Amino acid sequence: MKKKTHIKKTCIKTPLGPAIIEGDESGITAIKVSDNNREPISENIPDILKDCATQLDEYFKGERRDFCLKLNPDGTDFQKKVWEELLKIPYGTSTSYLELSKKLGDVKAIRAVAAANGKNPLWIVVPCHRVIGSDGSLTGYAGGIWRKKWLLEHENPSPQQSLF
């Protein structure tokens, strides 16, 4: 019988609002941004979540481009396949839903790929914000289009190389 673990939870302050981190010994299960600015910021971060909180803080300070965390998101096999592909999108770049579908081997799966992208439970760490429309538009983003724009500009601040 598999040992049941207790999910730990913490809330940290970010420039885009409070971020709630959840996880256990098996890895980080969720990172989500909250629109509730009254979300209490944790004073004591559980040991199992400290590395994630530190790496997110480094990302926002511009000191980190890649995350090195044990991840354990809950999702279907297809969703996990899409999320694995998202991890391959380099910092400071973007791709389209169409290109992502092609890389996954089925251009007709574009809607399913977009839906899986939208269900990504690991905000920023699995960079779903780097996926845009084929025409360069900032199509839907669970955290809000303004956050997607902020993240893309944070990763690519050069005006000569502006994505938008």
Q: Which two tokens stand for residue 45?
A: 């971060």
- Indicate if the pLDDT at residue 2 is higher than 70: no
Confidence (pTM): 0.89
Every domain of the chain and the residues it spans:
8-60, 77-161
Torsion over CA: 50, 52, 56, 62 (sign): positive
Please provide the average confidence, as pLDDT, over all residues in the chain.
Answer: 92
Domain 77-161 fold is Arc Repressor Mutant, subunit A (1.10.10)
- Indicate if the pLDDT at residue 4 is higher than 80: no
Query: Which of residues 71 and 37 earns the better pLDDT score?
Result: 71
Tens digit of each residue's pLDDT (9 = 90 or more) over 15-50: 999 999 999 999 999 999 999 888 899 999 999 999
Mean local confidence (pLDDT), 86-90: 97
| 11, 52, 68, 128: the active-site residue | 128
- Indicate if the pLDDT at residue 1 is higher than 80: no
Q: Which two tokens stand for residue 143?
A: 């955290």
128 included as an active-site residue = yes
- Indicate if the pLDDT at residue 159 is higher than 90: no
Q: Which two tokens stand for residue 36?
A: 């509730």
